[in-house]
Copies of this chain bind each other. A is one copy, B any other.
Amino acid sequence: MSRKTEHTPANGSLQERLEKSGRRLTAQREHVYDVLLQKKDHPTAEEVFIRAKKGMPDISMATVYNCLDALVSCGLVRQVNQDRSATRYCSNLRKHHHFHCDECGRAYDIDLLPDAPLPDVPLPEGFLASQLEVTVRGRCPDCAGRSTKQTSSAS
């Protein structure tokens, strides 16, 4: 099977993480992960499928969904749902938020300073938190064009 990206450091990590959740390392899972690492533009499952077929022409859509699910439950990939359209997938593991353009629908990573504090959200009794997500909505540079609406800081 083709090995396009040398994600060597993460490679071991991929296998480890898969095994930790009782799954096997397969060529398809490696390849789908590669595809996500190669272009971190938050592709949809369909886009991942199209890209994945280039290096692995026989991969099927069902497998792409399977692989994405496996990667998500391994914690190597995040699912991004911002509107009624298809779910997007994010392989950026650094601490970051997302920006959703209301006009074109694209998702952008908003990287945080490594020491930036995440908001502390006090939860009612009984809730167990595992992850925090912050999404800013608005218009991306491409779509903002000439008109101005607000400052460049969301609060």
Q: Which residues of A are at the interface with B, using a C-beta cutoff of 8 A?
A: 79, 81-84, 87, 97, 99, 102, 108, 110, 117-141, 144, 148-155
Contacts and interface: CB of A to CB of B under 8 A. Distances in A.
B153 A121 contact: yes
B120 A153 contact: yes
Contacts of A148: 128
A114 B130 CA distance: 25
11 contacts: A110-B121, A121-B134, A121-B154, A124-B141, A125-B141, A126-B144, A129-B136, A130-B139, A130-B150, A132-B137, A133-B135
Nearest to A143: B128
Contact of A132 (B126, B128, B136): B136
B129 A102 contact: no
A152 B123 contact: yes
